[in-house]
Amino acid sequence: MKVAFGHSNMDMDCLGSLILVKKLFPDYRLVKSNLIHPAARKLYTLYQDYFDFLTPQDLQGETIENIIIVDTCTAARVKEYFSHIKHSDPKIQIFDHHNLEQCDILGAAVEGGPYGATVSYLGKLIMERGIFLRAEEATIALAGIYADTGRLIYENVRREDFEVSAYLVDMGASLRLVKSFLETIIEDDQILVLNQLFLVISPSVIQGHRILLSYLELDDQVSGLAAVVEKVMDIENPDAYFAFFFIPKKKTLLLIARSQKTRIDLHELLYVYGGGGHQFAASVKLTNQDGPGFYQHFLAYLERSLKPAIRARDIMTRNVHTIRDDATLLEAALFLEENDLTGVPVLDAQGTVSGFLSLRDIMKGRKASQMHSPVKAYMTRNVIISDGQLTMREVERIFYKHHIAHLPIVEAGKLVGIVTHWDYLQYSRRFFSQ
């Protein structure tokens, strides 16, 4: 017998990968996990016939020659299947997009790459072999890519994710259905928790990061809490969110964390407590806990452990071009052109920033035929300046609020740098909101 399965608690990438395995390797039977991830439950319920799954229990007593594992290379995540596979020495082939070097499934051949989803890797094979898919199969597969890539916007996205998505749309994948499968807040108790969270979340600034915290006691376990936390994240847009859920009667504490800054590495932060995940999403479950006590303890830990946020001084351009306020507009125009600038801080005789001169100001002078007038006659006098301590969020706000493209940074009365749109965009591109 040849079988294929994914990790326990199957998600949509897992299900999408399995549907493609079935096309690529028709002589394999698919095996389902006894647990379906809440986010994949709707898709699974509606399409279970297409998979024609065996259960892990069905493997009992069978001789298994070949196994394909999708979407994981971690032994602990496929234990529920192997505990039923006895008296077999199967050849194992893995298709995955996680950290393949860390594979701990012994003797397995590992194939894949750093794609956004395992579906994308298998989809490439499907494309290379010119295999056609039914609209239903294409829809299931596309849901897998969209789920694992946040609709093709997460940092893990590669061009292959787009290529395979395009192919799946060609094969008739329904974007309308995919969208409905991606809706993660489905259950009434999730909505209830969402509403309760808005009453208890407290924003705070730790090491310059905007951090959201919440502590909520629940009567019992609620499934799909991670989706609720992500919803809050979407709406509130903090740098990171730490949501504590405590079930007093079970003395169980669940901490779900999400971040959108590389500087706040959640895996690293929660690893200490035996939890983990990855950089931007991690969780930890603790038993035998005093809920409020742990919450307080964790706050102190955060204050100590968070790396300070990037500030204006870290990204500003240091050697700032400036112009004296007694220079003529003509000189200023030439100066800007020579240095390829759209604006420049103006200094008075004492070297203090007294204004800002932009191309627009020069234009006004040109229209009035006043190019021999001094800069100070046409410069903008109410310059918005700041010190280097500003966080990136504050810089961004100043740009929007005052419609400016240059922010001179002044410390102890001296101009020490300037932050422009360009600096900000460079930083966002390279560091993704540090």
Task: Write down the least CB distance from residue 17 to Mn ion, Å.
Answer: 8
Do the beta carbons of residue 398 and residue 419 sit within 8 Å? no
Q: Are 239 and 211 in contact (CB under 8 A)?
A: yes
Q: Which is nearer to Mn ion, 148 or 265 (CB)?
A: 148
Q: Which stretch binds Mn ion (CB under 5 A): 77-85, 140-148, 223-231, 405-413?
A: 140-148
Kindly state the tokens that stand for 174: 């329904």
Please, which residue, 156 or 207, has the CB nearer to Mn ion? 156
- Tell me the closest approach of the beta carbon of residue 84 to Mn ion, in angstroms: 24
Closest CA to 122 of 67, 153, 160, 92: 160
**Residues in binding contact with Mn ion, number by CB under 5 A:** 4
Cβ within 8 Å of residue 179, ≥6 positions away = none
C-alpha 97/C-alpha 16 separation (Å) is 13
Q: Which stretch binds Mn ion (CB under 5 A): 9-17, 134-142, 216-224, 275-283?
A: 9-17
Nearer to Mn ion, 148 or 239 (CB): 148
- Cα–Cα distance measured from residue 345 to residue 320, given in angstroms and rounded to the nearest whole number: 8
Distance CA 407, CA 356 (A): 10
Q: How far apart are CA 421 and CA 400, in angstroms?
A: 11
CB of 71 to Mn ion, least distance (A): 4
Contact 94, 109 (CB under 8 A): yes
Query: Which residue, 93 or 118, is less far from Mn ion as judged by CB?
Result: 118
C-alpha 262/C-alpha 239 separation (Å) is 10
CB of 147 to Mn ion, least distance (A): 8
What are the angstrom distances between the C-alpha of 34 and each of 6, 61, 84, 354? 11, 18, 13, 70
Within 10 angstroms of residue 224's Cβ, the number of other Cβ atoms is 18
Nearer to Mn ion, 153 or 200 (CB): 153
Pick between residue 96 and residue 325 the one whose CB is nearest to Mn ion. Answer: 96
**CB-based closest residue to Mn ion:** 13
Instruction: Render 357-404 in DSSP notation, one character per residue.
Output: EEHHHHHHHHHTT-TTSBGGGTSBSS---B-TT-BHHHHHHHHHHHT-
Range in contact with Mn ion (rule: CB under 5 A) among 70-78, 318-326, 374-382, 414-422 = 70-78
Phi, psi of 51 (to 5 degrees): -85, -35
266 versus 379: smaller Cβ distance to Mn ion: 266
Contact with Mn ion (CB under 5 A): which of 137, 148, 160, 161? Answer: 148
In whole angstroms, the minimum distance from the beta carbon of 93 to Mn ion comes to 17
- Per rule CB under 5 A, is residue 239 in the interface with Mn ion? no
CB of 117 to Mn ion, least distance (A): 5
| Rounded (5°) CA angle 29-30-34 | 140
12 to 31, contacts with Mn ion by CB under 5 A?
A: 13
Q: Name the minimum Å distance from CB 111 to Mn ion.
A: 14
Q: Which of 71, 160, 230, 423 binds Mn ion (CB under 5 A)?
A: 71
Choice between 80 and 148, CB closer to Mn ion:
148
Minimum distance from residue 44 beta carbon to Mn ion (Å) = 15
Q: Which of residues 291-320 bind Mn ion (CB under 5 A)?
A: none
Which residues does residue 246 pair with via DSSP β-bridges, in sequence order? Answer: 217, 253
> Measured from the CB of residue 148, what is the shortest distance to Mn ion in angstroms?
4
Q: How far is the CB of 286 from Mn ion (least distance, A)?
A: 26
* C-beta of 118 vs 165, nearer to Mn ion: 118
Q: How far is 432 from 434, CA to CA, in rounded Å?
A: 6
Residues 90-129 that bind Mn ion (CB under 5 A): 118
Tell me whether residue 120 or residue 289 sits nearer to Mn ion (CB atom): 120
User: Which residues of the shown chain bind Mn ion in the complex (CB under 5 A)?
Assistant: 13, 71, 118, 148
